[in-house]
Amino acid sequence: MSARKVDRGDPETACPVEQGPDGVWRVRGYEAGRAALRSTDTRQAGLGIETIEKLPAKIRRPVLYRDGPEHRGHRRRTARYFTARRVDEHYRDLMVRIAEEQLDRLRRDGTAHLSELSFALAIDVTKAVIGLTDSRPGTARRLERFFPEKFGKPGFTSFSGVYWFFRQNFSWLAVYFGDVRPAVRVRRRESRDDLISHLIEEGCSNSEILGECLTFAAAGMVTTREFINVAAWHLFSDEGLRERYLAAEEPARFAILHELLRLEPVIGNLKRRTTAPVELPGADGPVVIPAGALIDVAVTAANVDPHAVGDAPLAVCPARPLAEGTSTAGLSFGDGPHKCPGAHVAIQESDIFLHRLFSIGNLRMQTPPRVSINEEISGYELRGMVVTLDR
């Protein structure tokens, strides 16, 4: 039986690599998915790259949308901001303080929407890592507007399209004037040890820094909120797992969170476009995908590939035996050149918040979350989970 809370309608198939009738190569095997993501003969696809490609050539693309030597050089130069040691030394105390501030709201009011508490945590932690520490009030409101539950398609052929065109541009400007420009102004006068200062030193314009900040906002704030909510949902629903989590030391708690993330990846699909023929391991031998093809790596399927994660792949089994080279979180953080740099940030802040949340006496889930799916990336959004304290 499946322990998954989020049903994304994943097709049942044993084929690790196959081409669909639409010409897209769908990858569902772990080894094949990892090979596709690690290949240097692919480039980023999906995640709104079509919009980014329309920008003038003189504007440097955010790191998420770059590939090749330029991308690898940028990742190498900024890796120091996301190491496990730096996160522990520079941000642990901050994470604890912010987590306690949010949980104090729950203690005071006796009830709270978990998505609001976790979003406030993720925003403040990510802002500290990036350098958005001089924002005007209202960052959460601006980001909620920028990343709504349901997106519309901008355009000029319908009232809806015109509405979304102006809303999208207004949201960009709101984040720029409310968060990015104040931070940039301070750091152009005096450099600090953060990502924005590094981007300024590299010669980035304000608009380029805005693009990078929004990329990290999506990766560091939005996805972390969703994972905290789905992990809490599992812990509320499984008393044995909850007791095990509360009694464990930090490394064992991290193992539990990695296992939950393997089972419930926030982003269910990662796409790449081949720039040369790419060979992937198939069921009956190597499969060669031609240049110019679109590859869709189904993370939700690859993460439960029994060849990689063993028996009962849909069960929650922390510290399960894994095939050599298999990550404890599967492909949930991606792999290869575009692997998420903030993986340790996300797991540590999630653990700090969740361990303190479930250590509160008389805590219960009053209302389970409402689940919606972003079809573009097969990503879940959980809203409406109400937690309460029984007096």
Q: How many domains does the chain have?
A: 1
Cα dihedral: 76, 79, 83, 87 (round 10): 170
DSSP code of residue 54 = T
Does any domain span residue 124?
Answer: yes
Rounded mean pLDDT, 283-305: 93
Q: What is the 3-state secondary structure (H, E, C) of 30-53?
A: HHHHHHHHHCCCEEEECCCHHHHC
Does any domain span residue 90?
Answer: yes
Does any domain span residue 180?
Answer: no
Tokens representing 215? 């990329």
Does any domain span residue 318?
Answer: yes
Asked if 112 and 141 count as a contact pair (C-beta separation under 8 A), the reply is no
Cβ-Cβ contacts under 8 Å for 52 (sequence gap 6 or more): 61, 62, 65, 211
Residue 327's domain is classified under what CATH number?
A: 1.10.630.10
**pLDDT, position 137:** 87
Give me Rg for the CA atoms of the chain: 21
What pTM was estimated for this model as a whole? 0.90
- Write the DSSP assignment of 332-361 as a string of letters: TT--GGG--TTHHHHHHHHHHHHHHHHTST
Does any domain span residue 325?
Answer: yes
Range of the domain at 58: 17-65+82-130+218-389
Average pLDDT along the chain? 87
Asked if 287 and 19 count as a contact pair (C-beta separation under 8 A), the reply is no
Does any domain span residue 149?
Answer: no
Does any domain span residue 166?
Answer: no
For residue 156, is pLDDT > 60?
A: no
pLDDT bin (cut points 50, 70, 90) of residue 47 is: low
For residue 295, is pLDDT > 60?
A: yes
Does any domain span residue 73?
Answer: no
Q: Which range has highest mean pLDDT (148-157, 163-172, 363-372)? A: 363-372
